Structure 1
Amino acid sequence: MYQISNIYGITAIAVIGGGLFGFDISSMSAILPTQQYRCYFNQGPHGPPFTGPDEPCSGPKPNVQGGITAAMPGGSFIGALVSGYLTDKLGRKKAIQIGCAIWIIGSIISCASVNIGMLIVGRFINGISVGICSAQVPVYVSELAPPSKRGRVVGSQQWAITWGILIMYYISYGCSFLDGSPAFRVPWGLQMIPAVILTIGLMFLPESPRWLARHDRWEETNAVLTLVHGKGDPNSPFVKLEMDEIRQQIEFERQNADVSVKELFHPRMLNRLHIGIFTQIWSQLTGMNVMMYYITYVFGMAGLTGNINLVASSIQYIINVLMTIPALLYMDRWGRRPMFVIGATLMATWMFANAGLMASYGHAAPPGGLNNVAEQSWEIGGAPARAVIACTYLFVASYAPTWGPASWVYPPEIFPLRIRGKAVALTTSCNWIFNFALSYFVPPAFVNIQWKVYLVFGVFCAAMAVHTFFLFPETAGKTLEDVEEMFLVGVPAWKTKVDYSNSRRAEQGQLDMEKAPHVERHEVAEVKV
């Protein structure tokens, strides 16, 4: 069967898996404020059933809505954990295809939901799919990409998420003009389409060469490297260099390591495990996904209602898409560390600014919240309200080119091949369990601590800026095998730098094979083991 050889073509298909997460985020955020949704699943004093677009229904209770939203990341936590086993046994491609099949099942259940319980089950099943795809798509793409393009192509997962958010948001917005349950059933049904496209597209993609090598399928490994990196030339210097490094790495691992989940908790691996886990935890504690899910609540507090709220909310999704582009183009030159530290500092600034504006110029909303929405329990108007909206946009513009793509790129880079699938599955599961907690926590938090929600996330952003500066080493421009050496040698994080120029020269065959910038695995082992 024909296989796509261009790394950007491979990436364009693979990262549709990230788009599934984006579809879920905006299908919920755009539907939350609509009367069709709020009346159909109403738990307040004004319904059910749905009787018309002007019915003043209050929708699910805040803690129940938190549970509905959190069902997806709850399932993603399970899916991410399971994905490590699936990907190591079946391969990266098959694991992602299984995720697509699960997504279709979950979407059917969500689309057909007749009560809150059925909706939660459908979203939980969708979450299992997102967990599998979000954990293994970055692994798959990182193992295929050349070092100088790895950040760009793995970061494309985040760009796919932003496109998924934007596309589904406008689909959901358009469907909000439909009467009754089709206003939310149509978007939840249409979100199956990307999974079908991804399932078919994966048939035309090669398997990960490093997974093939791990299973002693060396001829296929060489064929994939020749296809993707050698432009059809099996004698390409860069193909030979990669084959040599992969052989050495696997030989070293088999001689010196017991490949199991227990190895993740070995003293030599704990530092990397802590870095990978906190990369994913911090990406949630920035507050970005909260802003995506519940942006209509935030703008409701700032005085925006109805279609004006929905349109204003969509602007941040456009900003998210556009501001991710610079990172895709330049993150392999910038490096990962500046993206983490500068991004966290900027986000802390906007969160603290919003907290100050809300505290100084806002006041508690009437009992029951604004527009009968309990979560909109704080109110701010005039110029300060416009400043809150501006800071929210600036927050998104700070996250999109920094933590958004970098948090997906970084974990697959820092773990050795023998445990990469399981390690990334574990770190991604931490992302989803925190997503679950925050999705459940935020609606009642808006009711109970109001503007202080911004203060909480501002403190988290400040803490992650310090943490990443001192403990997160640079991986940009290095081969995955060179990153392994860096950790074994124990170079302090703040002394590591981007190796972009050397990696580009190696890919172009301009470095002598014997002088290429890498150290023999067994020599490194003797230093640290």
Structure 2
Amino acid sequence: MSSTSGIDRPSRLYRSTHPSRYLIFTLVISVGGFLNGYDTGAIGAITTMPQFTMVFGELSPILRGFIVSFLLLMGATPGFFAGQLADRFGHLRVVSVGALTFCVGSALEGGSINLCMLLVGRALAGIGEGLWLTNVSIYITEIAPRARRGMLVSLPQFMATAGICAGYFTCYGTIHIASSISWRLPFILAAIMGIGLSIGCLYLPGSPRWLLLHDRRDDALRELERLKLSRAEVEKDILSTAKQDQSKVSMWQGLSVLFHREYRAKTALGLFILGMIQLCGIDGVLYYAPILFVQAGLPGGTASFLASGLSAILMLAISIPATIYADSWGRRTSVIVGGIGLAGCMYIIGCLYATGSIHVTGGAGRWFVIVLIFLFALLYVSTWGIVGKIYASEIQSPRTRGAANSIAQGLNFLTNWLVAFATPIFLAHSAYGAYFLFGTLSTFTVIVLTIWMPETRGKSLEAIQQSNPELRDITSARQRLTSLVHRSVH
């Protein structure tokens, strides 16, 4: 391919901006987020259904946690190298293969006749999610105009929230079915949507930045024409800087280069963000909401399912303005304010359980806990859930974006699994201990990111790399900390 062909193509290719183009493409691939949320909303409820118990027997807290979290554990492995595969074969191909794998796994879950078959299905579904989740965010990051990047990259999280809502209410509707189809149907629906995602990837434009990185300039120009980005952004940010970081590396070289001096600060920051935002306990709330509401004093069955569905509706409602205004709120502000709120909710709930205020006859403690669970979920989806994946993707350089986000997403899966597996065990032994632990981890995350995290809102991906802000901010943060310690000692 000629390295200069297409530079002087007529300006009509970029004559105007058509937001509907890249918005539609983003919505199609964001179905991956919906599927992730759908499983999250459905699986915890499914394991509490009496029809499910009739097939698999009564589940201990450890077994329930293992079944629910097994998908996350299996998703961690492909999550570690999915970005490197995408660096070689393209984001859309990897997402499509992941969606087909998820489809097969969901079909096996829906047809399960024993625990072994169910776990194999969840393993395949997890491998599929591990392949696509990293690449969905990276793909959107690379096709989005800088002015709307925050909103567009947050759409998978919005779709995940919609999926959680759909998962809860699917189970709320099917629990009244007397046969085993009550718990099989959610899995069948997930398999159908997985096929839709895989097919949809065939019609999406490839990432122009990925194509330029692979010396396919003519193909990149054709995809830019489909995206209809503004002429100024195409020429200033994408085409003019395309030659600055076009060295290609193998999969293993891609992993090792992450820890070179030039990239290791960004790598560590991405790992920390995607790992720690899950350790606030959000997956414990999302997976086990029916159990949490029963433990707080609501009657079991339908009432707890309905409360879970209501929390999902509220999460979806607040996700709408959070997604729309993702580029209006600073990344640092969202992380700090959201983290303080999340930690506060966990500490207050822990104190209510520790003091025995929950089950006092005629007391308001249980209702306070229910409101705080709602508030915790709302704060998460409007702050940390939005900012985490945006930030982890946009701070990486083109050379390391796939590999860095793969490792960060793999770590994200592992921390998800840890929370999902441990939560029912914690709740069975010490409810307040779990809440205090999640509150402490949230507080620690806020402190570290307040010191370490530079602002990136409104900057192009290329400008973020040129300014190399995180190294400057880390150095100044260390100097501030040293100064504070020195003054306190003297």
| Same topology, TM > 0.5 | yes
Q: Which residue among 373, 379, 402 is the counterpart of 1:392? A: 373
Shift of 1:465: 1.1
Amino acid at match of 2:442: C
What is the rounded CA distance, in whole Å, between the counterparts of 1:243 and 1:482 in structure 2?
11
| Structure 1 residue identity aligned to 2:274 | Q
Q: Is the counterpart of residue 453 in structure 1 residue 447 in structure 2?
A: no
Contact 1:302 1:381 in 2 (8 A): no
Q: Does the 8 A contact of 2:168 with 2:305 survive in 1?
A: no
CA distance in 1, matches of 2:330, 2:258: 25
- Structure 2: runs of 5 or more not aligned: 1-17, 478-490
Q: Deviations over 1:310-353 (max 9, x none)?
A: 10111111111111122212221212111111100001111111
Matched, 1:279 2:273: yes
Describe the superposition over 1:10-58 as per-residue Cα deviations: whole angstroms up to 9, x where unpaired. 111011011111111111122232211223211xxxxxxxxxxxxxxxx
Aligned match for 1:261, one of 243, 255, 260: 255
- Tell me what 2:462 maps to: 481
Residues of 2 paired with 1:300 and 1:186: CA distance?
25
Which is further off, 137-146 or 18-27?
A: 18-27
Cα distance in 1, alignment partners of residues 436 and 371 from structure 2: 17
Aligned to 2:305: 310
Match of 1:247, SS state, is: coil
Contact 2:22 2:144 in 1 (8 A): yes
Q: Give the aligned partner of residue 40 of structure 2.
A: 25
* Cα distance in structure 1, aligned partners of 2:442 and 2:255: 31
Aligned to 2:422: 441
Per the alignment, residue 293 of structure 2 pairs with: 299
Change beyond 3 A, Cα 1:336–1:39: same
1:14 aligns with 2:29: yes
Aligned to 1:184: 183
Conserved 8 A contact 1:469-1:494: no
Q: Tell me by how many angstroms 1:479 deviates.
A: 1.0
Q: Aligned pair 1:425/2:406, yes or no?
A: yes
* CA distance in structure 1 between the partners assigned to 2:470 and 2:407 by the alignment: 24
Q: What is the 5 A alignment of 1:287-436?
A: 287-304=281-298, 305-362=300-357, 382-436=363-417
Q: What is the CA–CA distance in structure 2 between the aligned matches of 1:197 and 1:494, rounded to whole Å?
A: 47
Q: Give the partner amino acid of 1:104.
A: C
**SS of residue matched to 1:180:** coil
* Helix, strand or coil at the partner of 1:249: coil
CA spacing shift, 1:384–1:87, aligned 2, 3 Å:
same
Which AA in structure 2 matches 1:320?
Answer: M
Query: Hey, what does 2:216 align to over in structure 1?
Result: 217
| TM-score when normalising by structure 2 | 0.89
Quote the Cα distance in structure 1 between the aligned partners of 2:233 and 2:434: 50
1-side partners of 2:297 and 2:121: how far apart? 33
Cα deviation for residue 393 of structure 1 reads: 0.8
Residue 176 of structure 2: SS of its match in structure 1? coil
Contact 1:303 1:381 in 2 (8 A): no
Q: Find out whether 1:97 has 2:96 as its counterpart.
A: yes
- What is the CA distance between 1:442 and its match in structure 2? 1.1
Matched, 1:468 2:449: yes
Measured after TM superposition, the shift of residue 260 of structure 1 is 2.2
- Alignment check: 8 A CA contact 1:210 1:246 kept: no
Q: Distance in 2 between matches of 1:259 and 1:478?
A: 29
Deviation at 1:259, TM superposition (A): 5.4
How many angstroms apart in 2 are the aligned matches of 1:493 and 1:209? 32
Query: Structure 2 CA distance, aligned partners of 1:488 and 1:173?
Result: 48
Q: CA deviation at 1:380?
A: 8.5
Q: Number of aligned pairs?
A: 457
Q: CA deviation at 1:93?
A: 0.7
Identity %: 28
Amino acid at match of 1:206: P
Worse-superposed segment, 412-421 or 262-271:
262-271
1:249 CA drift (Å): 2.4
Question: What amino acid is aligned across from residue 280 of structure 2 in structure 1?
Answer: T
Maintained 8 Å contact 1:77/1:131: yes
CA RMSD, aligned part only?
A: 2.2
- Quote the Cα distance in structure 2 between the aligned partners of 1:196 and 1:495: 49
SS of the equivalent of 2:391 reads helix
Task: Work out the CA distance in 1 between the residues paired with 2:207 and 2:360.
Answer: 52
For residue 331 of structure 1, give the secondary structure of its aligned residue in structure 2: coil
State the partner residue of 2:8: none
**Structure 1 residue 229: Cα displacement:** 3.7
Q: Secondary structure at the match of 1:285?
A: coil
Classify 1:454/1:96 alpha carbon distance in 2 versus 1 (closer, same or farther; 3 Å). Answer: same
| Equivalence for 1:68 | 67
Q: CA deviation at 1:5?
A: 6.8
- Asked whether the 8 Å contact 2:45–2:288 carries over to 1, the reply is no
- Aligned twin of 1:366: none
The aligned counterpart of 2:15 is none
- Counterpart residue identity of residue 296, structure 2: A
| Distance in 2 (alpha carbons) for counterparts of 1:443 and 1:246 | 50
Quote the residue 2:12 is aligned against.
none
Query: Aligned equivalents of 2:131 and 2:122: distance in 1?
Result: 14
2:56 aligns with 41
Aligned partners of 2:84 and 2:254 also within 8 Å = no
SS in 2 for 1:313: helix
Cα deviation for residue 122 of structure 1 reads 0.8
Match of 2:122 in 1: 123
Q: Residue 362 of structure 1 contacts residue 381 of structure 1 at CA under 8 Å; is this kept in 2? A: no
Q: Aligned to 1:418, what secondary structure does the other structure show? A: coil
Q: Whole-Å Cα distance in 1 between the matches of residues 372 and 294 of structure 2? A: 15
